[in-house]
Amino acid sequence: MTTAARTGAGIRFDHVTVAYGKHHEHTVLDALDLTVEPGEVMALLGPSGSGKTTALRAVAGFVQPVSGRVLIGGRDVTGLPPYRRGIGMVVQQYALFPHMKVAENVAFGLKAHKTPRAQIPGRVAEALEMTGMAGYADRHPRELSGGQQQRVAIARALAIRPGVLLLDEPLSALDAQLRSGMLAELARLHRELPDVSILYVTHDQLEALTLADRIAVLDQARLRDCGTPQELYRRPRTAFTASFVGTANLLPVTVRGAGGGVDFAGRRLNVPAAAQAADGAAATLCVRPHLVGLGAGGPAGNTLHGTVTEVQWRGATHRLYVSVDGHRVLADVRELRETPGLGDEVALHFAPEDAVLIPAGLAEDGAHHG
Ligand code: ADP
């Protein structure tokens, strides 16, 4: 493997606002503050239209903010054209030139960056080797599979030895099996280029959970949450994050302070975090389906009673849909001696420490914002 000296560059969004319309009345990115450390993989995760691509294009220089600054490697690049920002970019539709061979496609970016002619063949070979495409230099894009074309696109982006790599849904045009292979490839590439910062736009939580050091959750032009995958999964701060990063049971509860409890549909549940919340406050209790078991819990646990409305077999688990006083509770159960039938009355349990209490204000913030 050829390793070239690369200097990592972090990315900083400093209150970046992007708006469209005659009077900038449509805000599509609202005062984004976010820092990607040198060598860090940051996923921008959110539903379609939340502003992810806009944020990435603001770093690339294809979108001009109405206010705020973009910094790369500590340098304000807000006014610089894309080719002077030292970035490599890969988009969903490979965007290779069909009439050029693989090697020419990879060389194209180098020429655009005014790389000295003599260095170009070596750089092309290096990038193709890194992406496992060394044997395909003389092929045309139409002679490659979708996954191979995307590798060439990545090689083209890496050839300029960027400090920052911008990936916009790079796997979404591939089928499921290729996607998981490419995910592993990207993780390997990042290990080989530990100083390169990667900003990765995706609406796919699995890609974000697998690849990212940290995930920034966007919704309706706003940054809702940012943290490591583990933090966001285990301790989501908002109901939006809880339901977007993984699957969540979100139960409306009322805090019954002192003893560390909450009321849910007329029952008391033990939730240690409730001891810190104001008595009588409305909140959302988040419990992951795989932490909900079938059967009654012990005296210190929490038990819910309800009616089975749906059973899905998912290979390793059964997902039970249980209606508890009209609230839907999901339980992913690993070993079932007997599969419950629709309409069966069942008990469910979860441990107090497996429940996350989300204060109402934050929970609502994720749900609606204009
Ligand atoms: P995402 O990547 O999260 O799907 P985008 O950043 O592509 O979202 O888009 C955010 C919003 O900005 C969308 O509502 C989109 O319609 C709007 N938008 C994007 N580009 C333009 C444009 N050039 N002119 C007007 N509106 C745009």
Tell me the average confidence (pLDDT) per consecutive run of 10 residues in the chain, 370 residues long. 56 98 95 96 96 97 97 95 91 86 94 90 95 94 92 93 93 84 89 93 92 96 96 93 93 87 92 87 95 89 96 92 97 89 96 92 43
- Residue 305's H or E segment, with its range, is strand 302-313
| 151 CB within 6 A, ligand 1 | no
Instruction: Please give the number of the atom of ligand 1 that sits closest to the Cα of 56.
Output: 6
Where are the chain's structural domains? Answer: 11-234, 247-359
Distance 64 CA to ligand 1 centre (A): 13
* Among 360, 12, 368, residue whose Cα is nearest residue 220: 368
Paired tokens of 84:
């002077």
Structure-block tokens of residue 212: 């990212």
Determine whether the shortest distance from the Cβ of 203 to ligand 1 is under 6 A. no
Return d(Cα 109, Cα 125) in angstroms, integer.
Answer: 14
The residue type found at 263 is D
Alpha-carbon distances, residue 280 vs 254, 255, 353 (angstroms): 6, 5, 21
Count, residues in the chain: 370
Are 82 and 173 a contacting pair, CB within 8 Å? no
Q: Amino acid identity, residue 31?
A: A
| Nearest atom of ligand 1 to the alpha carbon of 18 | 12
Residue 1 is predicted with a pLDDT of: 36
DSSP codes joined into one string, 234-275: HS-SSHHHHHHSS--EEEEEEEETTTTEEEETTEEEE-GGGG
Which bin fits 355, alpha (ψ -120 to 50), beta or left (φ > 0)? beta
User: HSE-up of 14 (CA within 13 Å, CB side)?
Assistant: 13
- Note the Cα 173 to chain centre separation in Å: 17
CA-nearest of 210, 196, 186, 212 to 39 is 196
Cβ proximity of 165 and 197 under 8 Å: yes
Contact at 8 Å (CB) between 141 and 149?
A: yes
The whole-number pLDDT of residue 95 equals 82
The residue whose C-alpha atom lies closest to atom 24 belonging to ligand 1 is 20
Position 94: which residue type?
Y
**CA 96 from centre of chain:** 26
Probe residue for ligand 1, chosen from 28, 91, 92 as the CB with the greatest number of ligand atoms within 8 Å = 28
Strand partners, 12: 35, 71
Place of tokens 């890969």: 90
Which helix (H) or strand (E) segment is 333 a member of? strand 327-333
d(CA 213, CA 289): 24
Q: Which is the closest atom of ligand 1 to the Cα of 46?
A: 3
What pLDDT score was predicted for residue 299? Answer: 80
Distance from C-alpha of 203 to C-alpha of 218, rounded to nearest angstrom? 10
State the distance from the centre of ligand 1 to the C-alpha of 49, rounded, in angstroms.
6
**20 pocket-lining for ligand 1 (C-beta < 6 Å):** yes
CATH number of this structure's domain 247-359: 2.40.50.140
The CATH class given to the 11-234 domain equals alpha beta
Please tell me the distance between residue 44's alpha carbon and the centre of ligand 1 in angstroms: 14
Are residues 10 and 199 in contact, defined by beta-carbon separation less than 8 angstroms? no
User: Of 250, 218, 211, 213, which Cα lies nearest the Cα of 231?
Assistant: 213
| Atom of ligand 1 lying closest to residue 47 CA | 3
CB 350 within 8 A of CB 292: yes
> Tokens 């007997």, residue?
338
Distance from C-alpha of 205 to C-alpha of 208, rounded to nearest angstrom = 5
Distance 65 CA to ligand 1 centre (A): 13
Residue 366 is predicted with a pLDDT of 41
Cβ of residue 149 lying under 6 Å from some atom of ligand 1: no
> Any idea of the CA torsion for 85, 90, 96, 97, to the nearest 10 degrees?
-20
